Structure 1
Amino acid sequence: MSQVFIYAEYQVSVPFTEIDWVPINAEMKKFAGLISKTWLSGINTNTVGGFYEFDSLKNAQNYIDGLLIPFTKQINGTLSVKLFDGIVTKEASADIGSPFYLTTSR
């Protein structure tokens, strides 16, 4: 699998404006295979999460195990994670203009 998406959300109530995201981004960039992350902030819930793109299932799982799960323990929070196959949905997503399929290099 050469394109994997992760949806992750921490069940905490922290306004995004209180998150020091600069060092978090720096730590994320150390993980092999991370292509992009879109930060998410829950409306009226202040949950924090993201939508990630990875180049393989192995690298996505390493990220979950190496960063998301340890951070969950650190903040004593609850984490929801879902993995998605980016290849099987490629044609349908490109047809509707998804930014993850705009280049032919993917």
Structure 2
Amino acid sequence: MSKTFLYTEIQAPVPFDRFPWEQANEPLKSVPGLVRKTWLSGVGTQTLGGFYEFDTAENALAFAQGPFAEEARRAGAAATTRLFDGEVVREASLDLRSPYFD
């Protein structure tokens, strides 16, 4: 599986306008295999999350079990992660003009 999507969410209410995303983005720029990330802020919950694209499932899993899990532990918050196969959904996503497919 070469194209892998990762969904993450930290179960702690943090208003995004008070979150230091500039500081959080810097180490993300050097995460192995990370192609792109879209930040998410829960409507009504203000939970922080993200939708990531990785080049391989191995790199996505390493991030989810490493840096992301460590950040959730430091915040003292429960976290959710889910991996998705980006290759199997390519044709259907292209048909809907997904920006994650060339």
What TM-score range do you get, normalising by the shorter chain?
A: over 0.9
Q: Distance in 1 between matches of 2:28 and 2:97?
A: 27
Residue 17 of structure 1 is matched in structure 2 by 17
1:47-66 to structure 2, matched below 5 A, reads 47-66=47-66
CA deviation after TM superposition for structure 1 residue 49, in Å:
0.1
* Aligned-partner residue type, residue 39 of structure 1: W
1:44 to partner: Cα distance: 1.0
Q: Is the strand fraction higher in 1 or 2?
A: 2
Give 1:66 shift: 2.1
> C-alpha distance in 2, partners of 1:57/1:36?
14
Scaled by the length of structure 1, the TM-score of the pair is 0.93
Query: What is the RMSD of the two structures over their aligned residues, measured on CA atoms?
Result: 0.7
> For residues 87 and 12 of structure 1, what CA distance do their matches in structure 2 show?
32
In 1: Cα distance, 2:97 partner to 2:25 partner? 26
In the alignment, residue 2 of structure 1 is paired with which amino acid?
S
Which structure 2 residue ranges, 5 or more long, are not aligned?
A: none
Q: TM-score when scaled to structure 2?
A: 0.97
